[in-house]
Chain A
């Protein structure tokens, strides 16, 4: 067994070495002086996720910026500012750089960026985070620029060597060619000189029509190790002397540990230690089996605290009440009250969406080794810098003493934007000699998640005599995840999740008189968090269900009705037309079948979906087909976009059909896949994804598939049965 472990030294701040703030120029000098050892020093010398490939670590290197390193052997190492959790960033991000750097993907190896907000902050969140379908959007310009900068420096290095005019040189497939003479130099031979050449004053990016890599379905770089069991997720980490722990937090949120009788647990072979925390107990053992049995054998007494009697209905009542309070105005166009009053017809509806758990396939886990002088953390996190800070806080060690080794994520969906489990693991590790891997059971993972909030919305619209909406009012209430997760983003009672798809950007329709209000109402004691699709899973369901209800009220075809309102948004209209055509909208269906449509503009992408369902006599809903049309601007990797849409649709259907987290006596009632149900292959529809050619800046693709499908589904159920579903999930068991 191979216990080789990567180690990344604490990062030294190049700015500090250079004495002053870091301009690209000084940064480059520093790298040159230190021969790149500087950057190299704080990177994992291996390709994340594989036990075999150790990255190039040749001494002298060319490191023009925080994303690229090149060794004399010509080997190119790209530093990934985003984490791979299935969405394909480890392929699309390298494509951006390699396109401009003029290297083959086959020539590059990848390394995960260390915690370092200065260089790796997401230009949309301004913190080092992977999520919100932002990776490609945030990198589109900067990372191509990073590649182009390096290319230009290599060109001028070659020109110097040959004493020719740089403009007579071209870069191709890791070589510089002097066109007139046909002389060639491999990048590797140029790194030393390149490292000393000046930073280009201005950088011209390729014209999209010259792209050779972007736009192709390049093979995913992380797949091969994922089909043979080699890929290493954080749950697979092995450290010499490592113990394995599993944890039980107080079943009631906000409860406290009173006492534990560990006598029975200690008798179990392989159990070493029982760790007591303020609100949790962990059993430290040789293996998970002993840890699990040890936990089961504990006699634990909890003080269940304030939420001991909390149930879902209490929370819903609070939301109902909140909905009566005037909200913060998120958008106000025209004069809704007046126009509503004069409307020929008024339509109203209330929608509810349940709490949801993430249930990433890899249960949350984290391995921590606390020592007097430092601490190592092995984890799959969407927020590296936060992970580092969380452990620093628990251990009281300075930031630079915390070494975070990020791993492949067995699913993120927003769960790994949180550090609660990292904090808990560190608190446990603090009381344990040597490294300890803390693994959550599935039950614990589902019952101590941060939950997609319960949302409660009231919609009202006034229609003119032709049935078209003249006034639109939307009042929404629920928890604000941002207010806790990133307070600066929660301004004046609003956050981006509240707005996206409902107010900013608004629904893509012509709605001259519209009002969107939000009433923040936090569920007592229940932690809420981001969940694939974030705000739009909520807003798009409400808006697209309601538009469908308006079409019904107007006795118009749902597609026609939407088309008529999409004047202001030709791109939205285009995806709608494409989806309708491919789905054969309007063609007749057998008894009990129905089609439903949804259109959205969120995450910077336009998506239209048409779902086809069959509803049996016994009420069973079967989704037979989903057609999805996408305009996400320039497509970096078409196959990845398709895969993300397919996956997003299944994810969204699972939630819409089956998922809800409910509370009773302050406890989560669901526990595992037997009662928190995930769609299976025999329930999955056929899915067709069509991409629209576009030169616009790229939009997100990780989440739009999920947010679009729920209303398409419920609208299809309405078409099949005349039953309007305003409360998810569809198949709730009373």
Chain B
């Protein structure tokens, strides 16, 4: 039995310690906002925050986040930065199929938390690990810059 702190709540789960957090979220806890894309940390769409750090939940053994604060796309909108990012995403109509966007938004929120005024290089550094097959990159870059505006 393992206790997880996710989005401010505690969950007891009975799963093997090496089970990736992604599947615990999706298949055990039913939090399907976090998506599965590759399972090998190459697409970034399973990104969650663990103590504020962006992590690929598909390769993150659930045992290793015991005692850490996990935040997923379902709750990121409750943080001021997360809300800003979501608003920018809607203002600029970033979304196409939308399947990668939870991961994009989690990466962007982590970036802005660490670097409030990111330049293009910062954006590349934080976002290049997140693939969008629909090719929304042009707008992702623009939306991050808008979200970084002090009064956006």
Q: Which residues of A contact B (CB under 8 A)?
A: 1, 84-88, 217, 219-220, 222-224, 226-233, 235-236, 238, 244, 269, 286-289, 292, 359-363, 408-413, 439, 441-442, 639, 643, 646-651, 654, 672-674, 678-684, 686-687
Contact = CB atoms under 8 A, between A and B. Distances in A.
Given A288-B36, A678-B133, A361 B99 contact: yes
Nearest to A637: B93
B97 A673 contact: no
Contact of B98 (A86, A238, A292): A86
B30 A238 contact: yes
17 contacts: A220-B95, A223-B90, A227-B95, A288-B26, A360-B97, A361-B43, A410-B99, A441-B39, A442-B37, A643-B139, A648-B135, A654-B135, A672-B42, A673-B37, A679-B137, A681-B130, A681-B140
B135 A362 contact: no
A673 B38 contact: yes
B107 to A, nearest CB: 10
Contacts of B114: none
B49 interface: no
Of the listed residues B90, B133, B136, the one surrounded by the most CB atoms of chain A closer than 10 A to its CB is: B133
B28 A287 contact: yes
B132 to A, nearest CB: 7
A229 B74 contact: yes
Contact of A228 (B31, B86, B97): B86
Contacts of B77: 227-228
A682 B97 contact: no
Contacts of A679: 135, 137
B98 A439 contact: no
Given A87-B96, A224-B90, A289-B20, A680 B32 contact: no
A229 B27 contact: no
Contact of B136 (A236, A287, A646): A646
B4 interface: no
Contacts of A228: 33, 73-74, 77, 86
A646 B139 contact: yes
Interface in B42-62: 42-43, 45
Contact of A678 (B16, B73, B99, B131): B131
B141 interface: yes
B61 to A, nearest CB: 10
A681 B26 contact: no
Of the listed residues B23, B30, B40, B97, the one surrounded by the most CB atoms of chain A closer than 10 A to its CB is: B97
Nearest to A217: B93
Contacts of B19: 287, 289
Contacts of B86: 227-228
B145 interface: no
Contacts of A361: 35, 37, 43, 45, 97, 99-100, 131-134
A287 B27 contact: yes
A408 B135 contact: no
Contact of A360 (B89, B128, B133, B136): B133
B97 A410 contact: yes
Of the listed residues A361, A442, A646, A686, the one surrounded by the most CB atoms of chain B closer than 10 A to its CB is: A361
Interface in B2-38: 15-16, 19-20, 23-24, 26-28, 30-38
